[in-house]
Chains A and B, each alone.
Chain A
Amino acid sequence: MAFSSSAPLTIPGRRPTVGGRGALGLRLAAVLIGLLFSAPMIYVVIQNIDLGADLGELLSSSKTWWPLLRSLWLGTTVAGSAAVVGTALAWVLVRTDLPGRRVFRVLAPLPLVFPSFVGAAALISAFATGGLLERVVSTVGIGELPQLRGFWAAWMVLTLFTYPYVFLPVAGRLRHLPRSLEESGRLLGRSPLSVFTSIVFPQIRPAVSAGTLLVFLYTISDFGAVQLLRYDTITRVIFSNQLADRATFFALSLLITVVALTVVSVERALVRGDRPVAGRSSATGLVVPLGRWRWPSFIAVAAVMVFALVGPVASLAHWTQRGIGSGRTSGALAVETSHLFEALTNTVFVSILTALVSVVVVLPVAYLSVRRRSRIGDASNSMIVAGFALPGLVSALSLVFWVLRSPWLGRFYQTLPLLILAYMLHFGAQASRASQVAVAAVGRSHEEAARTLGAGRLRRLMTVELPAMLPGLLAASGLVLLSTMKELPATLFLAPTGFRTLTSEIWASMDNVSYAQAGLESMVLLAASAVLTWVLVIRSADHLD
């Protein structure tokens, strides 16, 4: 392991100089990891050279411009609202005495697990004329609901399904902020709001920023939700050209890559100024009594959950119940439940494995980039993060391309290790940004104290740094876990033949217009993610206290 080579001992108290630091082994690992993660983007570049797409002409066409601008506009607005919702939820659920906060903490990350083609469809059918929601509101005398389509619909649906990208890392960070500053603030008579804006927020800013970036990248790569909600973005142009005009298909994928790399660099530059706040991080953060805001806050949190979770679940349950009600399907459902268990165990197994592998692989890069402020670490990190903006289909195709063209990798095609590699390449971004936040959470004074006491490199890592990073790393693996559970394109291309996952089953059912089946499978997916989130992310975090 790269960590085990001992770093040169610096004089205690002196900060390492900026740039190019870190053990050679670590830097080498970062270069290799960066290369690995850039493989999908290199594939896109190669295809562009091969097919000779005229990027200039594409860019000058309004048929490219408008969808691209819509993508950017949607990405920006969704990122903004998800940042607000995710941060507010994290603070209220972690740092206040909100009633039911323990249950909400398990529920809040879950909307992430809806594959967008199901989540959007479920919400649409809830909102639809004669749908569930209308039946509910009509009992209180409200007439027709607005139809869920266009920009506002896409903005709302994507915000509801992506805020967990912000929620998880921010909640992880909030739990373990040093309480001393906040206590001083409170003692000086500052209001909770003022303590939040002046003391808490600056410390969680990197986590908020990391999550927001992920939301942006996810939004510009999304196809399922925007298509169903009829907001015409650049991914529609990419997808409708997949067979007919591959030059355009790859040229626009390149365009998305360039946008992503730019945004990633900008974000990195913005966050770079932030330094980990000195001070002893406490086991538990300060709990703020909400007072008369208790119930209004409860209603606000519950409202988010109703739209993001209860609404879609009610739709799914309704599909299933309706299907079972009619004769033919109940027979079909009974047959299909045998697949369901297999799909469930497969899904749980690969998601946990992917989450662990991803965090282990990106950690050296995060460490190098944050602690050593190394350019290699930064560059490598940009590759990891930017790849997330590529539509899943393009990312999966790139693996098909690379694997079957390397003689020694070909035999792993459509095997489990390669599937996990594919997941990791696509979701590494989530592990990476959240891991960076985790690494940044290690107080330097802590580490230096251990160093002064003569603790060796490995020992410092195991006893000081890793424990301090764990809340952030759990958030990182939680994100990867939930994303992997809903992944589709790589699963269809690269899973071993006959390997069912819940999402591939849901997709097949939707494709087959078997909504009853799709509803049932989606609810199983949701239940499984709830259990995993609770056991692996939340309970582990509680144990750390």
Chain B
Amino acid sequence: MEPHNPLTARLPNVPRRRPIVAALVAVLALLAAACGSDSAGTDSAGADSAGAPSDGADGLEFEGVTITVYSGRGEDLISPAFALFEERTGATVEARYGNSAEMALQIDTEGDNSPADVFISQSPGAVGFLNEGGRLGELTSATLDRVPEQYRSSGGNWVGITGRVRVLVYNTDLVDPADLPTSIFDLTQPEFAGRVGVAPSNGSFQDFVTAVRSDIGDDETLAWLAGMADNNSPNYPKNGAILDAVSRGEVEMGLVNHYYLVEALDEDPSLPAANHIFADGDLGSLLIVSAAAVVNTTEQAAAAEALVAFLLSDEAQALHASGEKEYPLVPGVPIPEGLVPLEELAAATIDLEVLAGGLSGTQSLIEQSGVQQ
């Protein structure tokens, strides 16, 4: 069309604009491509939702079933387990990855039309939020009983799949291990003023506070938080940022989950940082679980629960432990090398069902204490 454009041809003074024409052609091509891929996407989505458990002529229980998983747990960590499940059952797992809290918010906002069948959360707070909103289905006791009682919800709506320990990560150049505190309650002492980084706006810190509340009650929890606030504990957005700050010496110590350091040391073994686990049974080194749940608006509850149950199989649990440096929660599955035995850690319930005010109770304590600064 470009050589004889009647509009440009007749008006003098207006130069011909090849690039514009070229751009328009490119636009059309792109639009055509977009339409093509859109229709393909819609088609496959239609086929998915029609899928129902077939009889499984070849013995695969969920052949043809698509399970949509919203996973707050990263792809690297959990997709091998999904692949195994697909192989074993014939199901297709369509996983979306994101931030646990944001995904919980998304499922809640989606309401009855949520495409999510299974929700996997790095944080008990996020599953607790959905549970409070009545968005989780009940799991069978066969699934729940795979893990000890303290690692699952009392109402039976979610179950822990792996555990992470809360630790005090410290800079080995700046801190003498002999000076490390034996209890997290020591951190409110003046000698630790300004030296311990925290992430009060992050889910993992909130989970930790929830656990402390269930153990020692709101008043003492608030006192500890206020003590940390009085000590001007520097704030960071999340665990990773605290670890970075500690390893570059910006702050000497920080309260995080244990595995961030394990990951970081893999990339840079020279990092001057180490994890300190508080002494036997101290609340500072709680085990905090990542959790799985079935969303109650699912149309394939059986397959969804089968996936959750599979994550608790010995096979999948061993996978969590080997690849991820996290604690398997099913008794009898060996824990990764280098981690202290589970029995030496404080057992905590982070069960929002048994806590008055749940998550908002935790958040309001954090707000009230002034630790967020």
Contacts and interface: CB of A to CB of B under 8 A. Distances in A.
Contacts of B30: 349, 352-353, 356
Contact of B373 (A232, A404, A414): A232
Nearest to A336: B76
B38 A415 contact: yes
A544 B248 contact: no
Most buried by A among B76, B109, B244, B248: B109
A323 B268 contact: yes
B279 interface: no
A243 B109 contact: no
Contacts of A228: 236-237, 241
A438 B79 CA distance: 48
A463 B241 CA distance: 54
Contacts of B19: 539-540, 543-544
A516 B267 contact: yes
A515 to B, nearest CB: 6
A57 to B, nearest CB: 13
B23 A328 contact: no
Given A230-B236, A353-B34, A512 B248 contact: no
B260 interface: yes
Contact of A245 (B38, B110, B360): B360
Interface stretch (A102-110, A124-132, A168-176, A207-215): A124-132
Interface string B114-128: 110000000001100
Contact of A416 (B38, B98, B236, B267): B38
A239 B98 contact: no
A528 to B, nearest CB: 16
Contacts of B160: none
A415 B235 contact: no
A131 B244 CA distance: 11
Contact of B234 (A230, A239, A493): A230
Nearest to B271: A322
A454 B318 CA distance: 80
B263 A512 contact: yes
Nearest to B96: A497
Contacts, number: 178
A291 interface: no
Contact of A508 (B74, B114, B248, B264): B74
B99 A243 contact: no
A515 B267 contact: yes
B248 A130 contact: yes
Contacts of A462: 7
Interface residues of A, number: 75
Contact of A543 (B18, B95, B359, B363): B18
Nearest to A512: B74
Given A130-B248, A356-B27, A416-B41, A328 B266 contact: yes
B19 to A, nearest CB: 4
Interface stretch (B100-108, B147-155, B300-308): B100-108
Given A227-B201, A232-B373, A397-B109, A326 B249 contact: no
A96 interface: no
Interface string A229-240: 010100010011
Given A230-B235, A353-B30, A243 B267 contact: no
Contacts of A420: 34
Interface string A413-431: 1111100100000000000
Contact of B240 (A239, A240, A511): A511
A508 B31 CA distance: 29
B127 to A, nearest CB: 11
B263 A493 contact: no
B206 A244 contact: yes
A243 B360 CA distance: 8
B125 A243 contact: yes
Nearest to A339: B75
B301 to A, nearest CB: 20
Given A508-B97, A543-B19, A463 B7 contact: yes
A508 B237 CA distance: 16
Given A128-B248, A131-B248, A401 B267 contact: no
B99 A513 contact: no
Interface string B272-315: 00000000000000000000000000000000000000000000
Contacts of B34: 349, 353, 416-417, 420
B50 interface: no
Contacts of B105: 242-243, 393, 397
Nearest to A63: B367
Contacts of B240: 510-511, 513
A81 B273 CA distance: 38
A351 B257 CA distance: 36
A410 interface: yes
B42 interface: yes
Contacts of A239: 201
Given A416-B34, A543-B19, A493 B248 contact: no
B362 interface: yes
Contacts of B260: 513
B17 interface: yes
B189 interface: no
Nearest to A491: B98
Contacts of A230: 234-236
9 contacts: A322-B267, A322-B268, A326-B266, A328-B266, A353-B30, A397-B105, A413-B115, A504-B97, A512-B74
Q: Which 9 A-B pairs have the closest CB atoms?
A: A244-B363, A240-B201, A227-B237, A543-B19, A513-B263, A128-B248, A492-B98, A404-B113, A323-B267
Interface of B: 7-8, 11, 14, 17-20, 23, 27, 30-31, 33-34, 37-38, 41-42, 45, 68, 74-77, 94-99, 101-102, 104-106, 109-111, 113-115, 125-126, 129, 200-201, 203, 206, 234-237, 240-241, 243-244, 248-250, 260, 263-264, 266-269, 359-360, 362-364, 366-367, 372-373
Interface of A: 63, 121, 124-125, 128-131, 147, 149, 224, 227-228, 230, 232, 236, 239-245, 319, 322-323, 326, 328-329, 349, 352-353, 356, 393, 397, 400-401, 404-405, 410-417, 420, 450, 455, 459, 462-464, 467, 470, 489, 492-493, 496-498, 504, 508, 510-516, 539-540, 543-544
